[in-house]
Structure 1
Amino acid sequence: MTSLSDLPIRDDLRGQEPYGAPQLDVPYALNTNENPYPPSERLVKALGEAVADVAGTLNRYPDRDAVALRDDLAAFLDADTPGLGLTGRRVWAANGSNEIIQQVLQAFGGPGRAALGFEPSYSMHPVITRVSGTRWVNAFRDEDFGLEPERAVAAVEEHRPDVVFLTSPNNPTGTALPLEAIEAVLKAAPGMVVVDEAYAEFRRAGTPSALTLLGGHPRLIVTRTMSKAFAMAGTRLGYLAADPAVIDALLLVRLPYHLSAVTQAVARTALAHGAELLGGVEALRRERDAAVAWLRAEGFAVADSDANFVLFGTFPDRRRVWEAMLGEGVLIREVGPPEWLRVSVGTPEEMAAFRTALKNAMKESL
């Protein structure tokens, strides 16, 4: 049998592990930050009708530039953050925010170029960076998982990266960045600045979006996704807002017809039913805040969260706790700093199961 080591793969890929959270059949899957509320029967019917409408045209290529979808996404962002004045010309869409990140690195990174991030952060940023042939530089976050503007600027000035990744709210910590930190990086960065806002809809009241900085910052890219708040993880639809020139750059590297007609139809239908899909966001915020309060009352260290997950610790042997909880049917995530664990916020029933399993796991570890 031929093994991977026998193949002439790129040297920089040798010894690498593929990305992937455990996919296990358990009663309570709280490890991938999914929205636990599925589409209603009414929306399922609408989605089916949308797919049926395009089914008869699947012998033809889809709209190559997803013009109607981008217009709808621009309208959604304008409603979410009033006053932006966005049009589809300033929005781009792809198969999940990961493809968005890949296209950005293909256009602005590559051999001889570098991308900088502040870990712990989204683990796919360095993975996609390296796969694109770009050098990854980790500048690290503060001890409380925040990012002081002065430290961020110092890292940018030292390394002079072609792309800077700022994640807000940050995954896996849930930490949101103040606009002052983002503005400081924008002023210092010689290249593109990508603010990953995959969890933006879950942010607490008063937490601003980097979308408000788009005016006057042509090198700013703000990425979003429909996988989280929209409960459309299976659709695989990510998007960004930026200056029109950025969209022109991405057109140079995107694959032809990269978004299927079915994906575009499903995403547009979801946006049309946005009020329903986003209706569960407030409930998840309440569950998140309740989880943070409970964990702190139980004596755990907990990172402030503006997302739909909570990072908590610390554990001398987090694997032992993770396995004990898995034994009770609750799957959470080993991610981030070595002594911490992350739980995705679920339904009240799921969170009750999480609390019970964690208490039992802690008893076992004594």
Structure 2
Amino acid sequence: MRIATFNINGIRAAQRRGFEKWLRDRAPDVVALQEVRAPAAAIPDGVFGDHHLAYEQGNVPGRNGVAVLTRVPPAAVRTWSGAVLSREPGEDHLDTVPTEAVPLARGLREFAGQGRYVEVDLADAPITVASLYLPKGGLPAHLQKPGRMREAPDGGARYERKMRFLDAFARQLARSRRAARAQGRELLLMGDLNIAHTRLDVRNWRRSNQAEGFLPEERAWFDSILSPRTLVDVVRARHPGVAGPYSWWSWLGQSFASDVGWRIDYHLATPALARAARTAGTDRDPAADCRISDHAPVVVDYDLTALPTPSAPRRAAAVRADLLP
């Protein structure tokens, strides 16, 4: 099963730059999208081909928006807001429908309507797939130096907001992982996490030590959600000890041509699914003027025959116990 994650930086712009051709040529079975950045009425007709769409657009006009595309209608869809735009291939309706109820971890409600998270249970594989767009954040107040920042100093507000998100999401992620396990499913979290985890994930890591996305506390948080028993960074497991493969490059200057990039887009999988990965990497565009987005798709081929035989779902009482804070 070919599964991809792609921050498209706006579906309308991505369509103009060749998204449909990429989708057709690479033929992924499942795609997690971030920064769709379009109300339902503005999604270009037919842009998702023969895939089914589960889209959480959020309530921030022109920003965010996450989706999961699947070949087969999903068995279930969950969002933090409790609603989703669900379309079959060829449909163009604008109606959202309720999703399964998701108990939100403490501190997460602040972000629930922003279009940052959607998860689906695949109907053709024992996998729960999630698409996440994590806030970019900013610098803490003591690192903000007027005149040396692209954005106006904000006293650390964006940094503090991201740290609140990380704290709440870690709890939510543990719940999702346990809930998937209780149903005999693997969990695959994909998306733009806006954090480069290690020095291998930033080309100029020395210069980036005091940059948002590579702060020590952000990297420590990333450490905390990974382990051989919980979640595994699939691409890093397939490419140990090497720089990259990067997934984001600035539009400015020669960053792309010089491969001065960051690896901030991930497949984080439960261990059995991570072991089933056969190929993993980024679809780096051949030249700067061919780029669909400032991000590249991260594509992994999973051998589902390598997964253990799914166990029977645990009884409901046990599932509810797993979901308790």
- Per residue, is there more strand in 1 or in 2? 2
Choose between structure 1 and 2 for higher RCO, CA contacts under 8 A separated by at least 6 residues.
Answer: 1
TM-score norm. by structure 1 comes to: 0.24
- Per residue, is there more helix in 1 or in 2? 1
TM-score norm. by structure 2 comes to: 0.27
Larger radius of gyration: 1
